[in-house]
Amino acid sequence: MANFTSKRPIEEDSSSDSSVEDEHDSQDEEMGEDEELGENDKEVQVEFAGQSPIAEDYHGIKSLLYQLFLKAHINLGGLADLIIQQNYIGSILQQCTESSDTDSEEEGNSEDEVFGITSVINLTHHKDVECVKEVREYLLKKTKQKLAELFNNSSNMIGLLLNERFINIPPQVSVPLLENLCKEIAAAKEAGKPFDFTHFILISKLHESTRKGPESKKKKTKGADILWVNAEEEPISEVGQVLGEYSVRSESDSAVSGTWDEDDEQFEPKRRIVLITAAQLPDVLIKIKEFLQ
**What is the full per-residue pLDDT of the chain (293 aa) written as tens digits?**
333 333 444 444 444 444 434 444 444 444 444 444 455 555 556 788 889 999 999 999 999 999 999 999 999 999 999 999 999 999 999 987 665 454 545 544 444 589 999 999 999 999 999 999 999 999 999 999 999 999 999 999 999 999 999 988 999 999 999 999 999 999 999 999 999 999 999 999 999 998 765 554 444 444 568 999 999 999 999 999 999 999 999 987 544 444 445 455 689 999 999 999 999 999 999 999 999 98
| pLDDT of amino acid 260 | 45
| pLDDT of amino acid 37 | 44
CA–CA gap between residue 192 and residue 219 (Å, rounded): 49
User: Per-residue b/e over 64-79, b at no fewer than 16 CB within 10 Å?
Assistant: bbebbbbebebbbebb
| pLDDT of amino acid 263 | 52
| pLDDT of amino acid 224 | 63
For each of the domains in the chain, give its residue range(s) and CATH number, in order of start: 48-97+110-292 (3.40.630)
**63-66: long-range contacts, CB 8 A cutoff, minimum separation 24:** 63/114, 64/114, 64/116, 64/117, 64/164, 64/165, 65/117, 65/162, 65/164
Kindly report whether the global pTM for this prediction surpasses the value 0.95. no
| pLDDT of amino acid 218 | 45
What are the phi and psi torsion angles at 163 (to 5°)? -140, 75
| pLDDT of amino acid 111 | 42
Q: Residue 205, class by beta-carbon neighbours within 10 Å (0-12 exposed, 13-18 middle, 19+ buried)?
A: buried
| pLDDT of amino acid 266 | 84
Helix (H) or strand (E) holding 17: helix 14-31
| pLDDT of amino acid 152 | 97
